Amino acid sequence: MTFDLQPMLEGERLLVRPIAKDDWAELYAAAADPKLWELHPASDRYKEDVFREFFDVALASGSAFVVVDRETGTIIGSSRYNDLDEEKSEIEIGWTFLRRDYWGGTANAELKALMLQHAFRYVETVVFWVGETNWRSRRAMEKIGGVLRNGTVRRPGTSDDHVVYEIRRDAWGSSRKR
């Protein structure tokens, strides 16, 4: 079965849909807050020219999404799948951000649950690359069941140190039943 990299995913509060060219203005408005990026390796992503590059790469990836608050219809962030490795039965979920007014609630957990549920139809393992010093994202990973895979690693093609978390289908499924 071929992995569908851009399905429409719908949860209780969120709609996760493929990113579109027309999403630029609203997604940039969600991303233009410097506080969103202060712990991130790309700490200047709130700048329009830097975010434009992020947006264009996301659009070209064929695997990126916007996250929409179903109640308001407002775009509140983005995420994507990356690096499908069929041999390892693994894919990455990453490049996730949500507006600050959605931090600390259920939005990130719902977003990741929707993406994990879809991914586990096709692969055994989902990985998440997190900036080594991004304690906020590291804590969020642990809250959704991410297990640290290794020590610090350098993401290929970057000069930034990361840690890699993983969630395995069998572990995620059993943890969701509790």
Nearest 5°: phi and psi at 77? 170, -165
Q: Answer yes or no: is 108 within a domain.
A: yes
**pLDDT per residue as tens digits for the range 132-163:** 888 989 999 999 999 998 777 777 777 778 89
What average pLDDT does range 38-46 have in this prediction? 91
With 0-12 CB in 10 A as exposed, 13-18 as middle and 19+ as buried, what is 84?
middle
Q: Is the pLDDT of residue 38 over 50?
A: yes
Per-residue DSSP letters for 21-74?
GGGHHHHHHHH--HHHHTTSSSTTTTSHHHHHHHHHHHHHHT-EEEEEETTT--
Residue 61: other Cβ atoms inside 10 A: 15
Range of the domain at 125: 9-176
Residue 146: other Cβ atoms inside 10 A: 23
Distance (Å, whole) CA 18 – CA 62: 8
What percent of the chain lies above the pLDDT cut of 90?
A: 76
pLDDT confidence tier of residue 98, bands split at 50, 70 and 90:
very high
Q: Is the pLDDT of residue 113 over 50?
A: yes
Q: Answer yes or no: is 55 within a domain.
A: yes
Which CATH number do you get for residue 160? Answer: 3.40.630.30
Tokens encoding 65: 């999404």
Point out the least confidently predicted range of 70-74, 130-134, 150-154, 171-175: 171-175
Q: What is the pLDDT of residue 149?
A: 87
Longest Cα separation, the chain: 45
Q: Answer yes or no: is 4 within a domain.
A: no
pLDDT confidence tier of residue 20, bands split at 50, 70 and 90:
very high
What average pLDDT does range 105-109 have in this prediction? 93
| Highest mean pLDDT: which range of 39-43, 50-54, 151-155 | 50-54
What average pLDDT does range 36-55 have in this prediction? 94
Domain count, the chain: 1
Q: Give long-range contacts, CB 8 A cutoff, 24+ apart: 53-60.
A: 54/95, 55/19, 55/24, 55/27, 55/28, 58/19, 58/95, 59/19, 59/20, 59/21
Q: What is the pLDDT of residue 31?
A: 97
Q: Answer yes or no: is 2 within a domain.
A: no
Residue 113: other Cβ atoms inside 10 A: 18
Distance (Å, whole) CA 79 – CA 95: 5
Q: Answer yes or no: is 3 within a domain.
A: no
Tokens encoding 17: 């849909």
Amino acid, res. 19: I
Q: Answer yes or no: is 106 within a domain.
A: yes
The residues near 1 (Cβ < 8 Å, ≥ 6 apart) are 121, 122
